[in-house]
A and B are shown apart, each in its own frame.
Chain A
Amino acid sequence: MPADLEKQLKIYLRAVEREKKARKEAERLLEDRALELYRTNIELQELNRSLEQKVSERAREIKKQRNFYESILNQVPAEIIVSDYNHNYIFISESAVKDPKLREWLIGKNDFDFCRYRDYPLEFAQKRASHYQDVKNTLQISEWVEHNEKDGQEYYHLRRLVPLFNEQEDIEMFIGYSLDITKSEIYRRELVEARDIAQKATSAKSEFLSKISHEIRTPLNAIIGLTNIMMNEAHHPDQAHYLQSMKYSADSLLGIINEVLDFSKIEAGKITFESIPFNFSHLIQGIQQSFEFRANEIGIDLRTKLDPRIPRIIEGDRVKLNQIFLNLVGNAMKFTAKGEIIIETKLLEKTDDFLKIRFAVHDSGIGIAADKLDKVFESFSQEGDDTTRKFGGTGLGLTITKKFIEGQGGKIWVESIQGKGSSFIFELSFKYNADHKENSAIKQEWSRDLSMVKGKRILVAEDNLMNQLVLQKMLEKWEPELEMVSNGALALEKLHKSSYDLVFLDVQMPIKDGISTVEEWRNHEANSLSKRQAIVALTADAFSESRQRVIDAGMDDFLSKPIEISELRRVLGKYLT
């Protein structure tokens, strides 16, 4: 063999040898890898087994927990369900669906599936779906009461559907729960019925009180009116004294009846308030004058302490404010034997068209015990049971006063030291017009000269003969030409025949009442284009809504009975001079 070839051969042989060695090395490495793979595989199997064990342990634990919570939920006396966004049930409590098979079947299904499965009307599922939609639209809890009848018995369920939100604040699930409120619903209905019966009974009583008071007022008006007239005509001092006492008693009786009437109005929620300009200082003067005689009699000093910053003319409910004062000052008189009573006013706030006044009635009377202070404004309540016996009164005055004040947005309270005296303090707001000059309507009517009334033609329609007499006697001194009729039909007859300077129409009359009379006459005036006849209503009903009613009917003004002489002067002055 040539040396060259041999060298080549050796190179190849060495290469082959290296390849062989490399192959063996590779095989060994592969064997190692295979072994490693095998061990890894076994390890993996082991890991898998322990993982499976852990998973099943965890699953058992979850199931245990689930059972724990479900058993709690099942103990709650409510039907509970949880559903996903598409209204498919995720959880149903045992109380919601008692049949375990149905319960299991329903998981993952919705109300429509249930209706089809149970052959229920689909309307049931549609109603439920609309509640779901409500929650989706409003993102709020939906609550409703379902009424069912089963085996002739009624059932009420309060159902609530509550949205559960995910982190993005989107609805993820719903919790629905339902409470059987049949019993409480029945109780509620019974309570409502009982309440209605009680309310009816109370309102029947109030109505009776109102009617009876009204019936008492009519003859009383006559007594007061005639007493007034007799007092002017009395010649014997003893008679004058008796008449004075008679008038005082009759006034007290009227006060009591008015209180009962006011109270029944308040109870019936029929109280309304006026806002009419009036002379504030005259009102206070009037109050003082009303009580001066009595104050002098018992020897106490009745004084006023008035804030000069309060405008003379303010706007509000004059009649109610007057009544409030009559009540508070009347009370103070009752419980004060010596010393003084002070009526105080103070301006608290004033803007361009609004003002707030604090009023106070201070007395140096017997005072009120600290523990009774909060009771004095309650109905039918007086400080002690013997108070009524000693001092009289209905126990309604302060209740009415409080309602009058609170009804106008004000407040009242009392400060008192037993044995030293009491202060009843109240605050009320009024409107006022800064540019308001005293207009003619509120001018001091009683200062007017009424000599013009002489010979003026006045027609009075009044069915009650006593009241006819009272009005006749009151008008007599100005010497008008007076004609009396006893109902609206007769009044219309007279009106058609001749004209009058002033007509008084009683509101309540037989045959034709004052309201329909005035309505008829106003129609006639409109049709015949005749001049407007001045007509003033007479009524025993002093409430403002009656006043509005008669003005709306076509009356020009309003006199409430018993007729106050000052009011009569005002009306005569307004229409006859």
Chain B
Amino acid sequence: MKGIVFSEFMDLVEEKFGLETMDEIIESSNLASGGSYTAVGTYPHGEMVTLLGRLSEVTKVPAEKLLNVFGHHLFKTFHKNYPAFFTEVKHPFDLLEQIDNHIHVEVKKLYPDAELPRFETTRDGESLIMIYRSERKMADLAIGLIEAAAAHYQEDLKIETEMLKADGSEVKFKIS
């Protein structure tokens, strides 16, 4: 998993729960990396799962909720660091439709080893159907990102989710 996800996660933990909580979850997680992350590195996905689980235990906030908040945070970071992807976009649907066939294509050029989730989209009248596929099973993070995008464009969007696979590796969003 790309380092930026870890470093941003750490920033969020520090910002929302303080340095002490951050230190606590790192120290108690027994991580190969020792919890020191740089945005340009790559780290095992398992570390994120462990950190998230620990944070949930320590803060008593459900992991799903944490991921959702992280999604909101990541959107801001993306918007700040990669404004080029946002300039032509007028509606969140347009942005969401671009993930698979444009944004992730560019990411792959820069990081050929990146393993990225797939977002298959189809328009259904006024709504957008989006199918999330990833072995990381982090659909909640995706929902957070979608919500943040809606908020950014000041659109009031409702997201209905449907598990296509019980393990969460394939989830359908109906956004309207």
Contact = CB atoms under 8 A, between A and B. Distances in A.
Interface size class of A (residues with CB under 8 A): 10 to 19
Interface stretch (A23-31, A172-180, A543-551, A560-568): A23-31
Nearest to A11: B23
Interface residues of B, number: 15
A354 interface: no
A524 interface: no
Contacts of A25: 36, 38, 41
Contacts of A20: 36
A30 to B, nearest CB: 7
Contact of A21 (B22, B27, B36, B40): B36
B58 to A, nearest CB: 14
Interface string A1-25: 0000000100110110111111101
B35 A23 contact: no
Contacts of B39: 26
B20 interface: yes
B19 A22 contact: no
A29 B40 contact: yes
A29 B27 CA distance: 25
A33 B35 CA distance: 22
Interface string B32-45: 00111111110000
Contacts of B26: 14, 18
Nearest to B20: A11
B20 A18 contact: no
A14 B23 CA distance: 8
A30 B22 CA distance: 26
Contacts of A18: 26, 34-36
A21 B34 contact: yes
Nearest to A14: B23
Given A14-B27, A18-B26, A26 B38 contact: yes
A30 B40 contact: yes
B38 A22 contact: yes
A285 to B, nearest CB: 100
Given A14-B27, A29-B41, A22 B20 contact: no
Nearest to B39: A26
Contacts of B20: 8, 11
Interface of B: 7, 19-20, 22-23, 26-27, 34-41
Given A22-B37, A33-B40, 18 more contacts: A11-B19, A11-B20, A11-B23, A15-B19, A18-B35, A18-B36, A19-B36, A20-B36, A21-B36, A22-B36, A22-B38, A23-B38, A25-B36, A25-B41, A26-B38, A26-B39, A29-B38, A29-B40
Interface of A: 8, 11-12, 14-15, 17-23, 25-26, 29-30, 33
11 contacts: A11-B23, A12-B19, A14-B23, A15-B19, A15-B22, A18-B26, A20-B36, A22-B7, A23-B38, A25-B36, A29-B41
A-B pairs, 9 with minimum CB distance: A18-B36, A26-B38, A21-B36, A22-B36, A11-B23, A22-B38, A29-B40, A25-B38, A18-B35
